[in-house]
Amino acid sequence: MRLTVLGASGTYPRPGGATNGFLVREGGTSLVLELGNGCLSNLLREARLTEIDAVVITHMHIDHFGDLYPLFYALRFHPDRPWGQRLLLPGDGLGIMGRILGEDSREYLERVFAPEVLEAGRDYGVGDITLRAFPTRHPVEGYALRLEGPGWRVAYSSDSSPCPGVEEAARGTDLFICEATLPAAYEEEASHGHMTSRQAGATAATAGARKLMLTHIWPTFDVLDIVREAGETYRGEIVPAREGMTVSLEGGWHVQA
């Protein structure tokens, strides 16, 4: 399993960065997890459009799905017409996307993409990877995910305040990718659907996750401060997500900057 960070910023990008996105590869399977603003460009450094088995969007906030628009046009006008791209997303995700498209483009959404509804407690198979969705605590419908492949388990919090769904997703995982939008001093602000550094660490500790990757840190905050604060509640190894970083779980834990 190789996981490449396509976008690591929360809500809006750092200079030269992108908002949320990850590419997960296992054997011949390629899964894109979130496709925020700026992610498609980074994705195309790693994979061809026609190699993507599925794209998964955890909730319909623009920093998690913004680059579905350029993906839509890249597929629609691709010379080989690789339409029917599998796309897992909550509720009426395509309907939400369609609101800002013209009538002529909107009608292609369900041809270019093959949408599937993401629901809590359901398992989804994507090639060699199995996904399970867990409910988050966020202003819109959203799902934390647990991904499983041969010999590994990875969880992703999506955007959420601490809650049983995220904890359950992360339970006993080899790697837990958790949002840590805000520093510890911002607990009140975080209570509206995000986590602080310390809450991310505490969730990872309670869930017994073996490694912790922090992501969705607001660009106005210092990443190293967030990592240090998360270390007050979590004793394992913590790594901040960075665009272009690759994590491999083959034969142990390897991070390549």
Q: Which is nearer to Zn ion, 29 or 58 (CB)?
A: 58
Verify binding: residue 63, Zn ion, rule CB under 5 A: yes
| Token reading at 17 | 């960065």
Question: Whole-number minimum distance, CB 194 to Zn ion, in Å?
Answer: 8
Q: Please say which residue, 63 or 67, places its beta carbon nearer to Zn ion.
A: 63
**CB 2, CB 25: distance < 8 Å:** yes
Toward Zn ion, which CB reaches closer, 85 or 215? Answer: 215
Residue 159 lies near Zn ion (rule: CB under 5 A)? yes
CB closer to Zn ion, 22 vs 26: 22
Which of 205, 194, 248, 256 lies closest to 230 in space, CA to CA?
205
Q: Which residue has the tokens 């310390």?
A: 198
Which residue from 26, 31, 60, 61 is in contact with Zn ion, where contact means CB under 5 A? 61
Q: What does the per-residue mask of binding to Zn ion show for 115-144, with x meaning CB under 5 A?
A: ------------------------------
DSSP 143-182: EEEEEEETTEEEEE--S--S-HHHHHHHTT-SEEEEE--B
Instruction: Report d(CA 149, CA 29) in Å as an integer.
Output: 10
Question: Least Å distance between CB 51 and Zn ion?
Answer: 26
Sign for the pseudo-dihedral over CA of 107, 109, 113, 114:
negative
The span of 91-99, 158-166, 207-215, 249-257 binding Zn ion (CB under 5 A) equals 158-166
**Diameter over CA atoms, the chain:** 53
> Rule CB under 5 A: is residue 26 a binding residue for Zn ion?
no
Residue of 151, 145, 150 whose CA lies nearest to 131: 145
Stretch of residues binding Zn ion (CB under 5 A), selected from 57-65, 199-207, 222-230, 240-248: 57-65
Please identify, using beta-carbon distances, which residue of 55 and 112 lies nearer to Zn ion: 55
**Judged by CB, which is closer to Zn ion: 63, or 243?**
63
Q: How far is CA 257 from CA 31, 100, 160, in A?
A: 21, 37, 27
Stretch that binds Zn ion, among 55-63, 127-135, 147-155, 241-249 (CB under 5 A): 55-63
Q: Is 34 in the site for Zn ion (CB under 5 A)?
A: no
Residues near Zn ion, by CB under 5 A: 61, 63, 159
